[in-house]
Amino acid sequence: MNIETINQTTLPLGQRWGPVSVRGGKTRFQLWAPAEAAVGLELDGADISMQRSEDGWHIVDVDANIGARYQFVLADGTAVGDPASRLQLDNLDGPSLIVDPDSYCWRHSEWSGRPWEETVVYEIHIGALTTEGTFRSAMAMLPLLADLGITAVEIMPLAHFPGTRGWGYDGVLQFAPHNAYGSPDDLKAFIDAAHGHGLMVFLDVVYNHFGPEGNYLGRYAPGFFRKDAPTPWGAAIAYEKPEVRSYFVENVLYWLQEFRLDGLRFDAIDQIEDGSDVHILEQIAVEVRKRVSDRHVHLITENPANGTDLMEEIAGRRHYKADWNDDFHHAVHVAVTGEATGCYEPFKDDTWDQIRRVMAYGYLRPGKGIFSDNPPPTEALPPTAFIHFLQNHDQVGNRALGDRLHLGINRQLYRALTEILLLSPQIPMLFMGDEHLSLRPFHFFSDYNGEIAKAIRENRPKEAENFGGIPSGRSAADIPDPNSMSTFLSSKINWNQAASQGAMAWAEFIRKLLALRKESIIPLLETAQGYAGKIIEAPDQCLFIDWKLGDKILQLRANLSDADVTLTTGLGDFVYPAATLRDEFLRAHVVELYLK
């Protein structure tokens, strides 16, 4: 059997991972299992021999029907699912299913996406967004989000993970949308519907480790993982191997092409080590640009190491559009809550100055490059290279009680923070429920048993200490058990609450802010360049920031103190709030916006 060679920097001409149709109407089944002398295919109860190549691939071409069940059988008789399964019959240990990639009929095939500058992100967990917790039920929320002014929905990871509920960052089968949420066609219907409402859809992907349960790759392909560089969550991935590279590059293209997603968010990329001549993250960006060139596609990172090289503009393009900027969240959180332990401790000194710097320049501290020894300084990046947020799944879900920021601080102060978030030139992100001031917590939840469940449960107090600690009068015993069904159910959004008078008033406030952003700020962002931000001297607990955006200067003046302060001179035309007359004072807990 002719099996083409893969080098370290390019994809093979044909698909290597997962079932694929070949000539003669047959289906090719393929598994990279170099540690196995022989691998069999069990297809709808029939046992079929596979041919082994010198490079460890086991391949067979056979007749197979859509919906057929299949597993690979190792030499000792152990049956394992396909690591590139498109859908599981039941759980991780069960059979994989043959899926027709062309069965869904797209209604909005003309969709070409939206420019990055228009992005306003709304992060969701499919299982917790609605009572039903499915792709189909989530579709009902799309008109509400579009009407609000949201332009992009970001979905927490979907790769099939252990059990039926979880955050998804312990995924094992990277190509298989978790069947607890519905079928692949259901996911396509959700994305299609979003496009019909003018919404982009981004997906979180986790390429730094695999989950601790249900992963058999290390058994038959031990070279898939590195033994010398564990991540905090498990064995690191050996990206130096061409078979491993092809798995993940194919996975990226699978999500973007077959599901027509508008972008991907890459989780914790500081834990992706690659000693190849071309870093895997660079190769991914190049392949995406080459293979998906007919529409807007946006690649986003979460990079705690604050590296800037992935977002550096080269020949008029950036490999990755933006990074989740924890520095903004952490500095703001310390300033308004007083919590200054764990991950917040580095932000406890000169907090307001840190907020000013992060808003004007980007990261607070120089970062470590991914593939460059000389990454550009943070201020060289445009403001749109940073995604800002007041909370997200991590910042809420890792707290002891999963409580949201607006429940712990003065409402007028939270209102001002929201104005700052949505009226600054950085890309804003809301967490599901933020638009109606949800009273529901969002907990860390999972579906494990035995020792893993025990370890997760015992680790929650440590995580809580890192995210604000355990509230006064409470103890570690009050932290909900992540593996309890009640913990998951209590994290679901209560949409009945969104219909209350106060919730609707807040949603209208968000709607007006996003309408103003669309009218007055987004048109300036296309020409935004680096070195845009400038800190204007301001009293304590005030943020006076100017950004040069093309030939205009956007001027934010925010007073988060309890006293009125004198405004600086040299302000442009008054933009926000429209009902306020400009005077020489900036009132307490008030945000104003000018354009010069």
Give the residue numbers annotated as catalytic, written as ranges: 267, 302
Q: Are 298 and 262 in contact (CB under 8 A)?
A: yes
Distance (Å, whole) CA 578 – CA 592: 9
* Bridge partners (DSSP) listed for residue 42: 47, 71
Tokens 């020409």 map to which residue? 527
Per the structure block, which two tokens stand in for 108?
């909005």
Per the structure block, which two tokens stand in for 11?
């994809």
Across 566-584, b (16+ Cβ under 10 Å) vs e yields ebeeebeeebbeeeeeeee
**Looking at 111-217, which runs of residues are DSSP E strands?**
121-124, 152-155, 159-160, 173-177, 200-205
Contacts of 318 by beta carbon, 8 Å cutoff, 6+ apart? 310, 311, 312, 385
Please write down the long-range contacts of 219-225, taking CB distance under 8 Å and 24 or more positions apart: 219/35, 219/74, 219/78, 219/80, 220/31, 220/33, 220/34, 220/35, 220/36, 220/39, 220/74, 220/80, 221/32, 221/33, 221/34, 221/35, 221/56, 222/35, 223/34, 224/32
* Bridge partners (DSSP) listed for residue 299: 264
φ and ψ at residue 266, rounded to 5 degrees: -95, 120
Contacts of 166 by beta carbon, 8 Å cutoff, 6+ apart? 445, 446, 447
Distance (Å, whole) CA 169 – CA 268: 10
Per the structure block, which two tokens stand in for 49?
């021999």
* Bridge partners (DSSP) listed for residue 70: 43, 96
Per the structure block, which two tokens stand in for 385?
């290279």
By DSSP bridging, strand 51-52 and strand 57-62 are antiparallel
DSSP helix/strand/coil, 194? helix
| 265-to-19, 153, 254, 298 alpha-carbon distances in Å | 26, 11, 15, 9
Q: Which residue in 110, 529, 121, 534 sits closest to 325, CA to CA?
A: 121
Peptide bond into 577 cis (omega under 30): yes
